[in-house]
A and B are shown apart, each in its own frame.
Chain A
Amino acid sequence: MSISNSVSHDGMRTSMFGAIRKKYFATRTDIIVSSVLAVAVVWLLVNVIDWAFVNAVFGAGKREECLAAEGACWSVIASRWRIVLFGLYPFEEQWRSGVACLIMVIVAVLSCVPYFWNAKRLTVLWLSGFGIFYVLMRGGFLGLTPVFEQNWGGLALTVFIFAAVCILGMPLAIVFALLRRSELPWISRTMGLIIDTIRSLPLLTIMFTFAIVSPFVLPDWAIGDKLYRVIVGYAIFFACYQAEIIRGGIQALPAGQEEAAKALGMGYWHRVGYIVLPQAFRNALPPTINQIVITFKETSLVTIIGFFDVMASGRAASGNAEWSFAHVEVYFFVALIFFVFVFSLSRYGAYLERRLGVGRR
C-alpha cells in the first residue's frame, strides 16, 4: 500500500475507482502487496464472521447444541453474564450493582459535557456519583440489605476500584506535584525521593504490601477493609506517576505566566488554581488520558490478591464443568467490556485535545 501516489496529478476530482487504483495499485509492487493483504483481510473476516455469527449458537442454556456446533458458543454469555458483571454479589440484589455501574457511566458521560468543565463542578459530579455508587452497593438503609465489600465483584468491583483510585489519586497527584516543585529544597527532594521510590516498585508489590503486610504495621483503627487498603496503595502508585505528568505540564509553562500572576498581586493558591494547574492539565492531557487508561486496565491485577474483579469473575463464569469448554467466548466478552471502556476513554481524550486546542492558537 503505497502512499506515494495519493495526490492526483491532474488536480481533477477522480472517480472512487480511479482514486483506489492510484493509491493502492499504481506500481507492480503496489499491486502485489495490496492484493496479498486484501486476500488476507477477507479470509480473516470470513473466518471470524463464520465463527462469531454464522456457526455460532445464541440464546441461554443451549450447552448441548454448543458442543455440537463449530462456531462460537454465545450461549455461555447468555447463561452466565451475571457472574461476569456482578461476581458474588447476591443474585436478587444484582440490580443494585447494575444501577450503580450505570450511574458511574452516566457520570463519565456527563463529565464530557462542557457545562461540567471546571474543577468545582467536576468534583461535585464525581463525588456524588461515587457516593451514590457506594451507598447502592453497600446498602444497609431504606430496606436495602447490606452487602459487604468482600461480596462485591465483577464489572462493578472493577469500576469501583478504578473510580476510587482516580478520585483519591488525582488530588494526591496535584499535592505531590506541588510539593515536588516546592522552593524549599528539603521538601522537593524528599517528595522526589518518595516518588522515585514508589515508581521503581512494581504495582503488584505495592498492592501486596498494602493488602497483606500493612495490617501488621498499622494501628487497629487504621487497618480497614482489605479492599480499601489496596485502593489506597494503588492510589498512591497512581499519584506518583500522575504527579510527574502534572509536573511536566507545569514545567512546560513559560515563566512569564506565573510572573504575570504575581505582578497582579495574586497569592500562591490563586496562581496555582487559576493560572498554573489549568494550563498544566491542558499541556498534560495526552499523558493523563494514557495514565487513566492504564489504571483502568491494571485494576485486573487485584485478582491476584483474591479480589473478584471482572477478569476473575470471567474465569469463574467458565470455571465449572458445565461451561469450561467455552472459556474463549467468555474471555472475548471480558475483552469486549474492557475495549468498550478503554476505547471510549481514548476517543474522549482525543476529543478533549481537539476541543481545548481551540483558542490556544
Chain B
Amino acid sequence: MSEHAILIRNMNKYYGSFHVLKNINLEVKRGERIVICGPSGSGKSTLIRCINRLEEHQSGDIEVMGTMLDENVDHIDEIRREAGMVFQNFNLFPHMTILENCTLAPILVRKIDRVEAEKTAMEYLARVKIPEQANKYPGELSGGQQQRVAIARALCMNPELMLFDEPTSALDPEMISEVLDVMVGLAEDGMTMVCVTHEMGFARQVADRVVFMADGQVIEQGEPETFFENPQNDRTKTFLSQVLGH
C-alpha cells in the first residue's frame, strides 16, 4: 500500500479558458492532518473537490489511497468510497431521517445489512453527541447539529480519509465550536484529514501542516508554528494579518 493518502502532481484545472488551479503539487501522508487556507477565490475549494472528482482536472495526476483518479468510473467510485466529504452547506438528504441519512450509502454502496448499518450509525451519532435525534428529519435540527450529522454520515462509510470543505462557514458563531470539537476528536483518533477552513485556531491546534493558496497556486506550506510565527511569502503575511489581526 502506498504510504501517501493523497498525491497530487503538476495538476491543472481550467474553467473554460480561466486557469483555476496552476500546477498544484501536494502530498498528504496517511494519518496526516492538512489545513488549506487562503483568500476567497484562491481555488482551495476547487482543489479539495478535485480530489474526489466533484470537479474534473485537465492535466496532471491525482492519486488517492494508491488509486489513480482517471476516466475509469470504477476508480472514481473506489476513491469516493474511501474519501468521506463534509460540505459547507451540510447537504443532508431532507426527505430522510437522520438515521436513514447515515445508513443509505453503507447499505447501497458497501452492501452492509440494515441492522448492522443502523448499529454503526448509532455509534457514530453517539460520537457526534446527537443519538437522540436519530429519527428526526434534517430540517428539524440546528445548523451545528446538521453538520455533526453530516460528519457522522461520512464516517459511516468507514472512510480512509476525510475531506472538509469549509465545514463551519455556514454556521452561526455559537455553533462553530461544537463542530470543531468533533473534528478535533477525529484528528486525535488519527484520521487522515484535509480541511479547507478559515478557523486558524483549529489549524494551530490540530494541523500537521498548513497549506496557503492564492490565485490557484500553493504559495507556501509548513508546520503551524513556522507558518503562523514566521511566514515567508508577502501574500501569506498579508493574509495572516487580515485573519488574525482582530
Q: Do A and B bind each other?
A: yes
A residues contacting B by CB (< 8 A) are: 254, 256-257, 259-267, 270, 274-275, 278-279, 282, 359-361
Please judge, given known A-B contacts A260-B87, A264-B153, A264-B157, whether A360 and B94 are in contact too, CB under 8 Å: yes
What are 9 A-B contacts with C-beta separation under 8 Å? A259-B91, A260-B87, A263-B52, A263-B83, A263-B85, A263-B87, A263-B154, A359-B136, A360-B95
Please judge, given known A-B contacts A257-B93, A264-B105, A266-B108, whether A361 and B139 are in contact too, CB under 8 Å: yes
The residue on B at minimum CB distance from A282 is B95
B residues contacting A by CB (< 8 A) are: 52-54, 77, 80-81, 83-85, 87, 89, 91-95, 104-105, 108-109, 136-137, 139-140, 150, 153-154, 157, 163
Question: Across the interface, do B54 and A360 meet the contact criterion of CB distance under 8 Å?
Answer: no
Question: Across the interface, do B91 and A278 meet the contact criterion of CB distance under 8 Å?
Answer: no
Please judge, given known A-B contacts A274-B104, A282-B95, whether A264 and B154 are in contact too, CB under 8 Å: yes
Question: Across the interface, do B95 and A279 meet the contact criterion of CB distance under 8 Å?
Answer: yes
Q: Which residues of A contact B104 (CB under 8 A)?
A: 264, 266, 274
Whole-angstrom CA separation of A265 from B81 in the bound complex = 5
Q: Which residues of A contact B163 (CB under 8 A)?
A: 263
Q: Taking the nearest CB of chain B, how far is it from the CB of A204, in angstroms?
A: 39
Choose from A256, A264, A282, A359 the contact partner of B109 (Cβ within 8 Å): A264
Please judge, given known A-B contacts A256-B89, A270-B109, whether A262 and B80 are in contact too, CB under 8 Å: yes
The residue on B at minimum CB distance from A278 is B95
Question: Across the interface, do A359 and B137 meet the contact criterion of CB distance under 8 Å?
Answer: yes
Choose from B80, B89, B94 the contact partner of A265 (Cβ within 8 Å): B80
The residue on A at minimum CB distance from B150 is A260
Q: Which residues of A contact B93 (CB under 8 A)?
A: 257, 260-261, 275, 279
Q: Which residues of A contact B77 (CB under 8 A)?
A: 265, 267
Question: Across the interface, do A256 and B87 meet the contact criterion of CB distance under 8 Å?
Answer: yes
Q: Taking the nearest CB of chain B, how far is it from the CB of A250, in angstroms?
A: 14
Q: Which residues of A contact B95 (CB under 8 A)?
A: 278-279, 282, 359-360
Whole-angstrom CA separation of A90 from B27 in the bound complex = 81
The residue on A at minimum CB distance from B87 is A256
Q: Taking the nearest CB of chain B, how far is it from the CB of A328, in angstroms?
A: 49
Q: Taking the nearest CB of chain B, how far is it from the CB of A336, in angstroms?
A: 38
Q: Taking the nearest CB of chain B, how far is it from the CB of A48, in angstroms?
A: 46
Whole-angstrom CA separation of A267 from B93 in the bound complex = 16
Question: Across the interface, do A254 and B89 meet the contact criterion of CB distance under 8 Å?
Answer: yes
Q: Which residues of B contact A359 (CB under 8 A)?
A: 94-95, 136-137, 139-140
Q: Taking the nearest CB of chain A, how far is it from the CB of B162, in angstroms?
A: 11
Question: Across the interface, do B81 and A256 meet the contact criterion of CB distance under 8 Å?
Answer: no
